Amino acid sequence: MDNVRAHRFLLQTAVTKATTYTQPPANQGLSQFRELIITLAITAAERDSADETYDFHITTASDINAASWDLCHFPQVLTTGVKTFVARLRSDLLPQQVSTATPGVAAVESGTLTVYAGATHAVGSLAAGLVRHGPWGDKIGYILTIAGTVVTGIAYSISVEAR
């Protein structure tokens, strides 16, 4: 794997969304890489009513079946303005959740991911501000969950670098 070149792509080009959105995982051939660096770049976030919240879950799936699981849940967006979040994930570590605290606090998980709806590792189950190291599939997607009184929404892009 050390001779594999980096693969860079936009998971989401610059866009503005005012409602919850799901981009199902699409094949990017990611299982050949050991590291993912995912960047969420926010250019604006509506907070006119002070009750708007925005949650971004980065998800993965394998080519073997349709089951998906969370790789990352960026910190919940509760403020306006430009901000950038970067998540670094490793596939060669034991399955574990790591917080964004400094230094990151790890919680080692079972080596078996349980990914059906409502399960421990199902999509949407990872708490805000956490990444999940461990295996990922060839596919990657994301879920944006928007809550509150939203009119204009949030403007953002998501890029991925696989190494």
pLDDT of residue 1: 46
pLDDT of residue 112: 60
pLDDT of residue 115: 60
What residues of the chain score a pLDDT lower than 70? 1-4, 63-66, 99-121
Range of the domain at 78: 7-162
Q: For position 112, which CATH number holds?
A: 2.60.120
Q: Write out the chain in H/E/C secondary structure.
A: CCCCCCEEEEEEEEEEECCCEEEEEEECCHHHCCEEEEEEEEEEECCCCCCCEEEEEEEEECCCCCCEEEEEECCCECCCCCEEEEEEEECCCCCEEEECCCCCCEEECCCCCCCCCCCCCCCCCCCCCEEEECCCCCEEEEEEEEECCCCCCEEEEEEEEEC
Count the domains in the chain: 1
Q: Evaluate whether residue 84 is within a structural domain.
A: yes
Q: Evaluate whether residue 1 is within a structural domain.
A: no
Q: pLDDT tens digits for 5-15?
A: 899 999 999 99
pLDDT of residue 66: 66
Q: pLDDT tens digits for 62-92?
A: 766 667 889 999 999 999 999 999 999 999 8
pTM here is 0.88
